[in-house]
Structure 1
Amino acid sequence: MGGLDLLLSDLLRNGIESFLGRKAIDKIEKRLFEKYGLTLRESMEDFEKFNDVLYEIFGAGSKGMIHSVLSNLCNLKKSKGRKDSLVILHNPNLTEKILGILGDRYYRKILDLLIDKSLTAYEILDRVEIPQASAYRKMEVLIESGLLVEDGRVLGNRGRHAIRFTTLYRGLDMSIVKNRITVQIKMNKHMLQKSTILSTQYSV
């Protein structure tokens, strides 16, 4: 799991537990373990399996349940004839998390460097002019947050494969209306399709 699913998974799981109640969650967890050997938390990393169990228990109404919970976190706005779509985040926990990261100029340096391109960790370290130990820590935080994602591998020195990284988004805008912060993430189709959460709810 990575990218957008990392941003959404914990809050989505909490929302689902609150929406369905303990009795239903116990039933879902039991079936997840029987069928896939997964806990509820683990199923957020492969949302298609959670969605499969939910459909098995609740039928066609399961999609509406997930959509209701997910809409409290974000919405997807697809543009006809354009390659990019907007994922609009409006949950305070999500927006504050992103604002906290973007408030650090070194995080911004790494992310700005990788918009519309992918580089290996070595190439990133070589270009951002941040002390190496600090840069590695910054990259780890960005990966764990979902804003920095793997984008394939290349053959590096001594025949070893190196991971290439890129940003989750192609553009990011923020707005504040009546003290409510909204973050709009411009994403291409390839990145959207990596999200098992959005793929179960939208045709991406």
Structure 2
Amino acid sequence: MLSALGNKYSAEILCAAGTPKSAQALSEDVEIPIATCYRRIEELVDAGLLTCEGRRLSEKGRRTNIYRRTLDGIEIDFSDDNPVYSKKRRTEAKNRLQDQLDD
């Protein structure tokens, strides 16, 4: 998890992914190249910090994956021999409410 968070643009992608977005939309929001965005998305999905919520048609008529972050916060405590993580997970209810507010 730390290595995924430590990569450039990962935190920005997670911030932008509070609502479901395509890789293209995330790339535009964070202002990074699409190839870099796809690499960060893959790392964040593998770390369990981002999830693919399904597929939608893009403006060009292509099927594209839609991503959303899986948590709203994370705290890391380094005071012990090993880091201890505390995550604030996003609830499905919060996701639905956010989706309604954005419509």
**Same fold judged by TM-score > 0.5?**
yes
Partner of 2:16: 113
Q: Tell me the CA shift for residue 132 of structure 1.
A: 2.3
Q: Which of the numbers 95, 98, 103 marks the counterpart of 2:6?
A: 103
Deviations 1:44-68 (A, max 9, x none): xxxxxxxxxxxxxxxxxxxxxxxxx
Distance 1:156 1:170, change over 3 A: same
Coordinate RMSD, CA, aligned: 2.2
Partner of 2:97: none
Partner of 2:24: 122
Instruction: Work out whether residues 24 and 34 of structure 2, in 8 Å CA contact, stay in contact via their aligned partners in 1.
Output: no
Q: Tell me the CA shift for residue 183 of structure 1.
A: 0.9
Deviations 1:65-109 (A, max 9, x none): xxxxxxxxxxxxxxxxxxxxxxxxxxxxxxxxx122222231122
Partner of 2:99: none
Partner of 1:76: none
Partner of 1:156: 58
SS in 1 for 2:19: coil
> Could you tell me which amino acid in structure 2 is paired with residue 106 of structure 1?
Y
Show structure 1 runs of 5+ residues with no match.
1-97, 192-204
Q: Tell me the CA shift for residue 158 of structure 1.
A: 4.4
Across the two proteins, how many residue pairs are aligned to each other?
93
- Matches of residues 36-185 of structure 1 in structure 2 within 5 Å? 98-114=1-17, 116-185=18-87
Distance 1:162 1:102, change over 3 A: same
Name whichever structure is richer in strand by fraction.
Answer: 2
> Could you tell me which amino acid in structure 1 is paired with residue 16 of structure 2?
L
Q: In percent, how many aligned pairs have the same letter?
A: 28
Instruction: Work out whether residues 23 and 37 of structure 2, in 8 Å CA contact, stay in contact via their aligned partners in 1.
Output: no
SS in 1 for 2:9: helix
SS in 1 for 2:32: coil
SS in 2 for 1:141: helix
Name whichever structure is richer in helix by fraction.
Answer: 1
Instruction: Work out whether residues 70 and 90 of structure 2, in 8 Å CA contact, stay in contact via their aligned partners in 1.
Output: no
> Could you tell me which amino acid in structure 2 is paired with residue 182 of structure 1?
V
Partner of 1:188: 90
> Could you tell me which amino acid in structure 2 is paired with residue 100 of structure 1?
S
Q: Tell me the CA shift for residue 156 of structure 1.
A: 2.3
Aligned mates of 2:60, 2:36 — CA distance in 1: 26
Instruction: Work out whether residues 77 and 83 of structure 2, in 8 Å CA contact, stay in contact via their aligned partners in 1.
Output: yes
Q: Tell me the CA shift for residue 169 of structure 1.
A: 0.8
